[in-house]
Amino acid sequence: MRVFIWILWSVIFISGVSDAAADEVSVMEGESATLNAGIVKTQKDRIRWYFNGSRIAELNGDQVKICVDDVCPDRFRGRLQLDNTSGSLIVTNTRKTDSGLYQLQINSRRTEKKFILSVQGALGADTPESSVSVMEGDSVTLCTGVQTNQSNRIKWYFYTDRIAEIIGYQHKICTDDTCPQRFRDRLKLDSQTGSLTIMKVSTEDSGLYTFLHRGREKIFRVVILALKNLKQKSATEGESITLDTPIKTTPNDVLKWYFGEILLAELTGGASQICEDAQCKDGFRDRLKVNHSSGSLTIMNSSKADSGEYTLLINSSSFYINGSFTVSVASVLGLSLSTGIGICAGVLLVLLTVGATAFYFTIKMVKKRSKDKVKPFTLPCDNRPRDQGKSKQVNGNGMKQINQIDETDFQPTNFATESFHVEEETRSTTSSNQTSNNQEHIPFIDEEPEDEYKPGIPVIQPEKGVILE
């Protein structure tokens, strides 16, 4: 039964909510708006206020809660008041963003009231937004157009998140938990004007920025362009280079182009000044052109000396842009020289290869002639009895036995200057199972162990006796 009664009460309450007429309240921006509950509050009453579906205030007995929920829009904090007697809601220092549907619910009385609040801007409800386009990586300053003093309070919002504030001499930047983390260390406030500078902008920074001062607001729509290809220009000497601006300038904008610290061109109110600086005339005389419609800068007949960083400054009534461009000019001579060096290196490599091949075959030919004409001389291993005779045998272990050798076999020889000859040798190989055969054997130099020829040890060239290092 109780469940049925609760359901019936809910249906009646919802029907009352949907059929409730809305009261219209209109105020000027900066004024206070009072939404009257129209009741005399009792201790049993539980009153709740909603803005566009989000609970912003609650009164339960003597307990007052204002913007304690996470869903409560941050812009209301510090600007809402509840009348403890009537339950009426007061919005102080109203803004245009406060416009919308407000709902009052009193649970104990099963009633609801609706209010439509309209906040008219100080400059008119249809005041246009200031729009600015910036290239990714540049800096942009949102100009307020006001002068502040110690008693002023300035606030900046990115959509509904408060990102900066000035109270007297105190600057607060991204101190709220709601401030997007990406803004930290990239925001600056001008203490004189309250202007906000966003450094190294990214595409995520695109959106609506709201400036609040003395009940007035100024809205900036910022668009970040991801056009990195426009910020890096490459050309060959003699070609023209055009540096484009990210926005279309107006006659009231002041535009300046710099190369390092050198002022190249200035465009103000449709009139341009190009290369008035002495340093500019030395490097860019008669080679610069500015487009009066777009503000773009063209460098004609470019040279390698034009390579470097160019800076664009745009000063408008509502914003300030500081952008940079990187220009790289390649030298035609440098390209030819590189090509020539490559060709020369290739030719030199071919010549070295041919020369090394010729030298290799020359050495092989010398060795071959030596083998054909001269039999290598082998020095005796030790001093043995000089018996007569000239027969040599090879033992089973490969050691030579020398028998009947006369003294002519050991005549001193000048290895450095003289050629030498050895009479033909006959080697007899004996075997228990085979008949001894006399075979002529001419050992070649190639048969010598490789470790016989170590670097730095003189080697005798057989034919001419020249010492080769």
Q: Are residues 421 and 457 in the same domain?
A: yes
| Residue 291 lies inside a defined structural domain of this protein | yes
| Amino acid symbol at 4 | F
Q: Are residues 74 and 166 in the same domain?
A: no
| Residue 274 lies inside a defined structural domain of this protein | yes
Q: Rounded to an integer, what distance in angstroms lies between the CA atom of residue 120 and that of residue 30? A: 9
Q: Are residues 248 and 274 in the same domain?
A: yes
Give the count of beta carbons closer than 10 Å to the beta carbon of residue 376. Answer: 16
- Model-level pTM? 0.42
Q: Rounded to an integer, what distance in angstroms lies between the CA atom of residue 164 and that of residue 198? A: 11
Highest mean pLDDT among 13-17, 78-82, 178-182, 326-330: 326-330
Q: With 80 as the cut, is the pLDDT of residue 205 above it?
A: yes
| Residue 423 lies inside a defined structural domain of this protein | yes
Q: Are residues 53 and 163 in the same domain?
A: no
Cα-Cα-Cα-Cα torsion 143, 148, 154, 159, nearest 10 degrees, comes to: -10
Q: With 90 as the cut, is the pLDDT of residue 429 above it?
A: no
Which pLDDT score, from 0 to 100, does residue 34 have? 92
Count Cβ atoms within 10 A of the Cβ of residue 73 and give its class: 0-12 exposed, 13-18 middle, 19 or more buried.
middle
Q: With 90 as the cut, is the pLDDT of residue 198 above it?
A: yes
| Residue 365 lies inside a defined structural domain of this protein | no
Beta strands, E only, 42-201: 46-51, 54-60, 63-66, 80-82, 89-91, 100-106, 111-120, 130-135, 139-142, 153-158, 161-167, 170-173, 187-189, 196-198
Q: With 80 as the cut, is the pLDDT of residue 64 above it?
A: yes
129 vs 101 pLDDT, higher one: 101
User: Can you give the CATH number for the domain in which 158 is found?
Assistant: 2.60.40.10
Which pLDDT score, from 0 to 100, does residue 279 have? 85
Give the count of beta carbons closer than 10 Å to the beta carbon of residue 237. Answer: 17
| Residue 364 lies inside a defined structural domain of this protein | no
pLDDT 10s digits, 152-188: 788 898 887 889 988 878 888 887 776 777 787 899 9
Q: Rounded to an integer, what distance in angstroms lies between the CA atom of residue 280 and that of residue 283? A: 5
Q: Are residues 6 and 107 in the same domain?
A: yes
CB 313 within 8 A of CB 322: yes
Count Cβ atoms within 10 A of the Cβ of residue 205 and give its class: 0-12 exposed, 13-18 middle, 19 or more buried.
buried
pLDDT 10s digits, 287-333: 999 888 888 899 999 999 999 999 998 887 777 788 888 999 998 76
DSSP-H helix ranges across 236-390: 278-284, 332-373
Q: Are residues 395 and 436 in the same domain?
A: yes
Stretch 124-139: mean pLDDT, rounded? 71
Q: Are residues 52 and 152 in the same domain?
A: no
pLDDT 10s digits, 236-247: 999 999 998 876
Q: Are residues 217 and 245 in the same domain?
A: no
Highest mean pLDDT among 127-141, 293-307, 428-442: 293-307
Final residue before a domain boundary, out of 70, 86, 120: 120
Q: Are residues 254 and 144 in the same domain?
A: no
| Residue 357 lies inside a defined structural domain of this protein | no
Handedness of CA 210, 213, 217, 218 (dihedral sign): negative
Which pLDDT score, from 0 to 100, does residue 251 have? 75
| Residue 383 lies inside a defined structural domain of this protein | no
3 state DSSP class of 371: helix
Query: What does each C-alpha distance from 205 to 187, 229, 344, 453 come to in angstroms?
Result: 12, 20, 54, 76
Which pLDDT score, from 0 to 100, does residue 151 have? 64
Q: Are residues 70 and 140 in the same domain?
A: no
What is the distance in angstroms between the CA of the first residue and the CA of the last residue of the chain? Answer: 120
Q: Are residues 21 and 90 in the same domain?
A: yes
DSSP state of 390: -
Final residue before a domain boundary, out of 180, 198, 225: 225
CB 309 within 8 A of CB 323: no
Q: Are residues 209 and 245 in the same domain?
A: no
Task: Report residue 192 as tokens.
Answer: 């004189």
Task: Report residue 420 as tokens.
Answer: 């030498």
Which pLDDT score, from 0 to 100, does residue 250 have? 74
Structural domain total, the chain: 4
Query: What does each C-alpha distance from 199 to 131, 149, 188, 234, 415 come to in angstroms?
Result: 17, 25, 8, 26, 86
Which pLDDT score, from 0 to 100, does residue 162 have? 84
pLDDT 10s digits, 211-230: 988 777 888 888 887 665 56
* Residue of 210, 221, 93 lying closest to 162 (CA atoms): 210
pLDDT 10s digits, 326-373: 999 998 765 444 555 555 666 566 566 655 555 554 445 444 444 444
Q: Which domain holds residue 413?
A: 391-468
Predicted confidence band at 43 (pLDDT cuts at 50, 70, 90)? Answer: confident
| Residue 338 lies inside a defined structural domain of this protein | no
Handedness of CA 259, 261, 262, 265 (dihedral sign): positive
Count Cβ atoms within 10 A of the Cβ of residue 9 and give its class: 0-12 exposed, 13-18 middle, 19 or more buried.
exposed
Which pLDDT score, from 0 to 100, does residue 98 have? 82
Q: With 90 as the cut, is the pLDDT of residue 3 above it?
A: no
* Residue of 50, 51, 40 lying closest to 83 (CA atoms): 40
Give, in degrees to the nearest 5, the angle at Cα 65 between 61 and 67: 155
Nearest 5°: phi and psi at 139?
-115, 145
308-341 burial: b if 16+ Cβ within 10 Å, else e: eebbbebbbebbbbbbebebebeeeeeeeeeeee
Final residue before a domain boundary, out of 314, 332, 350: 332
Q: Rounded to an integer, what distance in angstroms lies between the CA atom of residue 306 and that of residue 257? A: 14
